[in-house]
């Protein structure tokens, strides 16, 4: 396993983000003490807007709707209706999800497609929150609004174990977003009290606080998988 020190970090104030040289780093590299996100810069090729709309139509999703389905299998089928650029996007998306999943044991690998008018701003995901889980979550969004990440120093409190899972953040916090296609991992947010005390003792920062972006008025598609510790 690679040491965290072998992965570069974003320069300046966003050193909480580590830059991976491969998808394998996103899956397996340890988080540095002062990092809570690892990202692999992944350039998209092809027409992902067409691919997203194709899946929405195929799954009969309305403009206000959203559907989540298993990440494996569907992108291999019936791609003849897509243009050359749409097929290129489908192949690229399928390959990246397969690279992420590989042979690792995963939990709930899923793709979500959202209609152009999908709006769930009453959802907790649109508030600042830290995911409650004990493994690392890997995300790749290819269309729609990107996740917004709050600077760790602008987070006042993470309400661990709270029903809504929300975090308290200062007004007008510093926010970072990645590019569509980038593959990133969030550090596990569900840890026990003893581990919290150990983390504070060694100076390890908290898991990332983030939220969904405002609706863009365009269809969206995102891949998500939770890996065990």
pTM over 0.85: yes
pLDDT tier at 162 (50, 70, 90 boundaries)?
Answer: low
Residue 66 CA: distances (Å) to CA of 57, 61, 69, 96, 153:
12, 7, 10, 22, 34
The CA distance from 43 to 117, in Å, is 26
Residue-level pLDDT at 80: 78
Is residue 205's pLDDT more than 90?
A: no
Residue-level pLDDT at 138: 92
Higher pLDDT, 164 or 144: 144
Q: Which of 36, 4, 1, 43 is nearest to 20 (CA)?
A: 4
Q: What are phi and psi of 67, to 5 degrees?
A: -135, 140
For the chain, report the end-to-end CA distance as a whole number of angstroms: 14
**Structure-block tokens of residue 17:** 């983000």
Average pLDDT, integer, range 35-42: 94
Is residue 49's pLDDT more than 90?
A: yes
Residue-level pLDDT at 9: 80
Contacts of residue 80, Cβ cutoff 8 Å, sequence gap at least 6: none
The CA distance from 208 to 66, in Å, is 25
Is residue 111's pLDDT more than 80?
A: yes
Q: What is the DSSP secondary-structure string of the chain? A: ---GGGSEE-SGGGTTEEEPSSHHHHHHPPPPTT--EEEE-----S-HHHHHHHHHHHTT--TT-EEEEESSSGGGS-GGGS-HHHHHHHHHHHHHHHHHHTTS--EEEEEEEE-TT---TTSGGGS-B----SSEEEEEEEESPPPEEE-GGGEEEE-TT-SS-BEEE-SS--EE---TT-EEEEPP----HHHHHHHHHHTPPPPPPEEPPPP-SS-EEEEEEEE--
pLDDT tier at 171 (50, 70, 90 boundaries)?
Answer: very high
Higher pLDDT, 200 or 205: 205
Percent of the chain with pLDDT over 70: 79
Task: Give 40's strand partners.
Answer: 183
Tens of pLDDT along 94-107? 888 888 887 666 56
Tens of pLDDT along 75-97? 666 677 899 999 999 999 988 88
Mean pLDDT across the chain, nearest whole number? 83
Q: Which of 81, 28, 7 is nearest to 51 (CA)?
A: 81
Residue-level pLDDT at 18: 94
């Amino acid at each position: 396993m690679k040491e965290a020190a072998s992965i570069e970090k974003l320069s300046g104030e966003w050193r909480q983000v580590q830059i991976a040289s491969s998808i394998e780093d996103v899956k397996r590299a340890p988080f540095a003490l002062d990092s809570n996100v690892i990202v692999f810069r992944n350039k998209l090729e092809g027409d992902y807007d067409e691919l997203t709309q194709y899946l929405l139509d195929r799954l009969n999703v309305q403009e206000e709707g959203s559907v989540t389905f298993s990440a494996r299998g569907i992108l291999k089928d019936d791609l003849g209706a897509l243009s050359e650029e749409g097929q290129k996007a489908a192949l690229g998306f399928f390959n990246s999800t397969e690279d992420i999943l590989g042979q690792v044991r995963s939990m709930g690998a899923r793709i979500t497609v959202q209609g152009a008018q999908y709006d769930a701003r009453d959802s907790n995901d649109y508030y600042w929150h830290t995911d409650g889980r004990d493994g690392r979550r890997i995300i790749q969004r290819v269309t729609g609004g990107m996740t917004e990440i709050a600077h760790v120093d602008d987070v006042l409190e993470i309400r661990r174990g709270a029903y809504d899972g929300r975090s308290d953040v200062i007004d007008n916090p510093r926010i970072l977003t990645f590019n569509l296609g980038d593959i990133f991992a969030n550090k596990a947010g569900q840890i026990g009290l003893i581990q919290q005390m150990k983390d504070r003792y060694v100076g390890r920062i908290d898991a990332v606080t983030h939220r969904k972006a405002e609706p863009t008025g365009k269809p969206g598609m995102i891949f998500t998988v939770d890996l065990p510790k």
